[in-house]
Amino acid sequence: MSAETEAERARRRFDPVLRQLLSTHLVEPATDVDGAPVWRLSEMAQERLAELSAPPPPGDKVVYFSHHCARCDQRGPTRRRGEAYVCDPCWAVEAPTWSEPAVPVSNGLTA
């Protein structure tokens, strides 16, 4: 019994992936500048790869739904500002440089 060669091992590992690329039309036949046949990623695959490899949005663009606002203590959609989670109304009220978790401000409705 002969040992599996490197090429055989690679084929065994990659063939299923390559077949999947073909069956899902993520790759398509094309020709290079000299007219030789090549494979290239479909346009859809290239666009999606660009999206997936893009850096994550800045923290202040991500909306969190499970936090209380650090300023008014209301639970609702918040965004991160420094270490604090702040709702949109409070975000607009506070100066853009505000970054410390603030002591909740009395709104006159609570003692």
- Show the beta-strand stretches assigned E in 24-81: 27-31, 37-41, 63-68, 75-81
Residues in the site for Zn ion, rule: CB under 5 A? 69, 71-72, 87, 90
Question: Smallest distance from the beta carbon of 75 to Zn ion, in angstroms?
Answer: 10
- Give the distance, in angstroms, between the CA of residue 108 and the centroid of all CA atoms in the same chain: 41
Question: Smallest distance from the beta carbon of 90 to Zn ion, in angstroms?
Answer: 3
Q: Considering the complex, state which of residue 69 and residue 81 has its C-beta at the smaller distance from Zn ion.
A: 69
Question: Smallest distance from the beta carbon of 101 to Zn ion, in angstroms?
Answer: 12
CA distance 102 to 72: 9
